[in-house]
Amino acid sequence: MAGNTGNTNNSKNTAQGKNSQRKPATRKARQAAAEAAAKARAEQAAKDRRVQTIIGIAVVVVVAIVLGAIGFGIWRSNHPTQDAGEYNSAWSAVQKAEPKPAHSTEKGGFVISKNGLDKPVKDVPTVAVYMDFMCPGCGAMERQLGTTYQQMVDAGQINLEIHPMAFMDRYSTDEYSTRAGNAAIEIAEAEPQHLLKFIELMYAEDFQPNESDYQPVSNADIKQQAVAAGVSESVAARATDEDYQYKSWLSAMSTFTPLRSELWNRSGQLKGQMSTPTITVNGEYWDRNKLGSTDMRTGLLKAIGLDASAVGKAGTLPSIGTGTELTY
């Protein structure tokens, strides 16, 4: 029995010795495990930070793209695009149209000044007016500004550039816009001193046809207005005969002109397209929508920098000169 007891004690001692030898190893293992866990956590944290950084950059890029797209959309809405192919084709048609008026500008205008046709006065503004003889707005504008135009031209205060157009033929049954526009061109070429009076009479309320209820206007009727404006019988007859000498050129120019983006409306329902009447001063678009309650005569005189009391006074010139900074 004693021997067995001794064996038991020896076994306990041996087991205790083994246990005492394993404890230091366990602490090291725990320490190593703790260090490994800490390292793993640090690596995961670094990975998470990288992911967050990438996400942040992606968000910034997406936001920038969205804002850029919005900004570009706004820019595009304010800067309508011009179809280069359509523009070039229309311009080519203008170049091919024959015969051409001898005294028109390259873009289809007839410059009237105190010096005559195609003889602009230096250092004064050029007011360009784009009109269709069927256009009711053109008639309303002419009745407000026609006399003022004539007074300023006579005094050498402006050059007036007339652009007859014929894109409203569809509102008549007999190509009224073309016939009236052609007559204006022939009068401008032959007896330009009577052009402005002819335009005035063509836009008279008791003569200009109604676009929504067109009643035929004969060539004889147009001739009568020309003669009343001072045009000679021979020129009036030629301007209103059925040859319509400049019909092809006028048609081509009426297709081309609305494609000129510098003439497009800057605001309002027709923003991004041309309409008549259109006025430019030294090539700069005059936005009539900015006038508010101001009448057109007051607005135009303010735009060119000329006091109403100075209209028709030779030697008193609009302050804008040949500049393009219009005042509203």
| Angle CA 249–254–257, to nearest 5 | 115
Q: Are 244 and 179 in contact (CB under 8 A)?
A: yes
250 pLDDT higher than 50: yes
Instruction: Give the CA count within 13 Å in the CB-facing half-sphere of 278.
Output: 25
Give the CB-side neighbour count of residue 42, counting CA atoms within 13 A. 6
Please give the pLDDT value at position 59.
Answer: 59
Q: What is the pLDDT of residue 41?
A: 77
The DSSP result for 212-223, as a single string, is TS-----HHHHH
CB within 8 Å of 244: residues ≥ 6 apart: 178, 179, 182
Q: What is the mean pLDDT of the segment spanning 49-77?
A: 53
Residue 81 has pLDDT above 70, yes or no: no
Q: Which of 170, 167, 84 is nearest to 130 (CA)?
A: 167
pLDDT at position 56, please?
65
Q: Are 202 and 231 within 8 A, CB to CB?
A: no
Which residues partner with 197 through β-bridges? none
Higher-pLDDT residue of 267 and 3 is: 267
Count of CB atoms situated within 10 Å of the CB of 3: 7
- 301-310: pLDDT as tens digits: 999 999 999 9
Q: Quick one: tokens of 228?
A: 């009343």
**Mean pLDDT of the residues in the chain:** 87
Predicted confidence at residue 50, as pLDDT, reads 73
Q: At what angle do helices 136-154 and 296-304 cross, to 10 degrees?
A: 50
More confident: 306 or 48 = 306
How does pLDDT run across 176-197, given as a tens digit for each residue?
A: 999 999 999 999 999 999 999 9
3-state percent helix, strand, coil for the chain, nearest multiple of 5: 55, 10, 35
Backbone angles phi and psi of 162, in degrees to 5: -95, 130
Distances 76 to 10, 73, 80, 271, 275 between C-alpha atoms, Å:
97, 5, 6, 12, 20
Question: pLDDT band at residue 25, thresholds of 50, 70 and 90?
Answer: low
pLDDT at 186: 99
% of the chain with per-residue pLDDT over 70? 81
pLDDT at 78: 46
pLDDT of residue 266: 95
The pLDDT value given to residue 129: 99
Q: What is the pLDDT of residue 42?
A: 72
Integer Cα distance of 237 and 224 in angstroms: 9
**107-141 b/e with 16+ CB inside 10 Å = b?**
bbbbbbbbeebbebbeebbbbbbbbbbbbbebbeb
* pLDDT of residue 54 exceeding 80: no
- Output the pTM of the full model: 0.76
Whole-Å CA distances, 14 to 4, 6, 22, 27, 317: 15, 12, 13, 21, 123
Per-residue pLDDT at 62 exceeds 60: no
Look at residue 60 in the predicted model and tell me its pLDDT.
54
The tokens of 208 are what? 């200009």
Residue 234 pLDDT: 98
Q: Please give the pLDDT value at position 2.
A: 40
pLDDT, tens digit (0-9, with 9 covering 90-100), for 136-190:
999 999 999 999 999 999 999 999 999 999 999 999 999 999 999 999 999 999 9
- Give the confidence band of 315 by pLDDT, cuts at 50, 70, 90: very high
- pLDDT for 72 equals 39
Which of 133, 145, 141, 181 lies closest to 308, judged by CA?
145
Task: State pLDDT tens for residues 190-241.
Answer: 999 999 999 999 999 999 999 999 999 999 999 999 999 999 999 999 999 9
- pLDDT above 60 for 257: yes
Please say whether the beta carbons of 123 and 304 come within 8 A: no
Between 176-190 and 247-256, two packed helices, what is the crossing angle to 10 degrees? Answer: 110
Q: According to the model, what pLDDT value does residue 207 have?
A: 98
State the burial class of residue 105 (Cβ atoms within 10 Å of its Cβ: 0-12, 13-18, 19+): middle
Q: How many Cα atoms within 13 Å fall on the side-chain side of residue 22?
A: 6
pLDDT average, residue stretch 33-41: 72
Q: Cβ(264)–Cβ(273) under 8 Å?
A: yes
Average pLDDT over residues 283-288: 97
